[in-house]
Amino acid sequence: MLLNDVSARRVVFVGGKGGVGKTSIASSLALARARQGARVLVVSTDPAHNLGHLWELAVGDDVTALWSASEAGHPDGRTRGGSADEPDDARAAGSNPDAGPRAGLVDGVEIDPARTVDEHLRAVRGTMQRLLPERLHRAAREHLESARDAPGTHESAVLERVAETLETGLDRYDLVVFDTAPSGHTLHLLAMPDRMTGWTETLLTNRDRSERYAVAYGALGGTKDTSDRDAELRRVLLKRRARFALMRDAITDPERTGFVLVTVAEPMPIAESRDVAAQLDALGVGLLGVVANRLSPADLLSARREREDEQLASLDLGAPITRVELIGLPALRRLADALAAG
């Protein structure tokens, strides 16, 4: 059963083509785990977020409480918003699976790359103004503004936040579920830590060299300013490197992490699912299972369902397929039931 495989993991990526049901499956997997007592964080990395829509709550770049089993007065244990930024003792206990009986919960966050880019640029601007002579400030500001829209800036910002959220998520939650952007984009993201680590390495090697020059210069009686600055930069880069290394290790460890591929049983999405599975394999990311979502109800649309089953029969990815029929509202609870029933 998919839920059992998910229960054994700390990190789950939910991916698939646009509109197939990624957010619904990510949320219902989170809910199903929370009902078992797990503390779960759902992270939306798709710039076109709809996590908040689904839960009928305002979710943003700060962690927001979506559901809690212990909340009194709500038959389904639901809370109405509230920031969960600062972990309390009970939440901190979530990182320790032996901490005794705990009430399950679901928190959510929608990663906002624009905010990350803004914060980053503001910090860099501050540093530049401190380090550069005044006459160069304007040119530096213009340079930074052009970086805001440069290709790759937003992707790097998303990746930075994914790595950051993964780090804190692994610390504070039993399970982190990533509700990702449509497939191509997600794989690109998963492939990037390697490239980012490579990039950080290059910078570090250069820094090592300049630090050596600076030390030599200092020994000759020069100012130590440059080497202090370089040491500071080096610390920042090392922290980044450690964070990306942690992310790469977590993502490619099949014991901890798995990918859930959501699809609908139509020729195009099925063909694309095969490609995605091959790419996951190449990246070393484990495919936990496939969810065939929005299947026609066998009793009402039997001919259509037969065609869909034929499509699914041709999809042999070596991972179990969970079948979910088209359901009405309230979608979340029933999806969670369907997943729990395998």
Ligand X SMILES: Nc1ncnc2c1ncn2[C@@H]1O[C@H](COP(=O)(O)OP(=O)(O)OP(=O)(O)O)[C@@H](O)[C@H]1O
Query: Site residues (CB under 6 A) for ligand X?
Result: 18-24, 46, 50, 182, 293-294, 324, 326-327, 331
- Min separation Cβ 151 and Mg ion, Å: 24
Nearer to Mg ion, 37 or 182 (CB): 182
Angle, vertex CA 141, rays to CA 136 and CA 142, nearest 5: 100
Does position 186 interact with Mg ion (CB under 5 A)? The reply is no
Of 24 and 311, the one with the shorter C-beta distance to Mg ion is 24
What is the per-residue binding string for Mg ion in 11-50, x denoting contact by CB under 5 A?
-----------xx--------------------------x
Whose Cβ is closer to Mg ion: residue 40's or residue 196's?
A: 40
DSSP string, 120-188: HHHHHHHHHHHHS-GGGHHHHHHHHHHHHTSTTHHHHHHHHHHHHHHHHHHHH-SEEEEE-SSHHHHHH
Least Cα distance to 190 among 5, 12, 2, 10 occurs for 12
Contact between 178 and 11 under an 8 Å Cβ cutoff? The reply is yes
- What is the closest distance, in whole angstroms, from the C-beta atom of residue 123 to ligand X in the complex? 31
* Interface pattern 43-82 for Mg ion (x via CB under 5 A): -------x--------------------------------
Give the Cα separation of 334 and 31 in Å (integer): 11
Query: Nearest distance from residue 39's CB to Mg ion, in Å?
Result: 22
How far, in Å, CA of 146 to CA of 144, rounded?
A: 5
| Closer CB to Mg ion, 50 or 168, in the complex | 50
19 binds, among Mg ion, ligand X, none (CB under 5 to 8 A by kind): ligand X
The secondary structure element, H or E, covering residue 13 is: strand 11-16
Closest approach of ligand X to the CB of residue 183, in Å: 9
Our CB check for ligand X shows the closer of 53 and 235 to be: 53
Nearer of residues 307 and 334 to ligand X, judged by Cβ = 334
Using the CB atoms, write b or e for 295-320: b if 16+ within 10 Å.
bbeeeeeeeebeebeebbeebebebe
CB 141 to Mg ion: min, Å = 36
Q: Using an 8 Å Cβ cutoff, are 250 and 3 in contact?
A: no
State the minimum distance, in angstroms, from the CB of residue 182 to ligand X: 5
Rounded least distance, CB 61 to Mg ion, Å: 17
b/e 96-111 (16+ beta carbons within 10 angstroms → b): eeeeeebebbbbbbbb
User: CA 217, CA 223: separation in Å to the nearest integer?
Assistant: 8
Residue 327 binds which of ligand X, Mg ion, none (CB < 5-8 A, kind-dependent) = ligand X
Query: Considering only residues 221-240, where is the footprint of Mg ion by CB under 5 A?
Result: none
Pairing of strands 257-263, 175-179: unpaired
β-partners of residue 83 are 64
Of 157 and 324, which CB lies nearer to ligand X in the complex structure?
324
Give the binding site for Mg ion (CB under 5 A).
22-23, 50
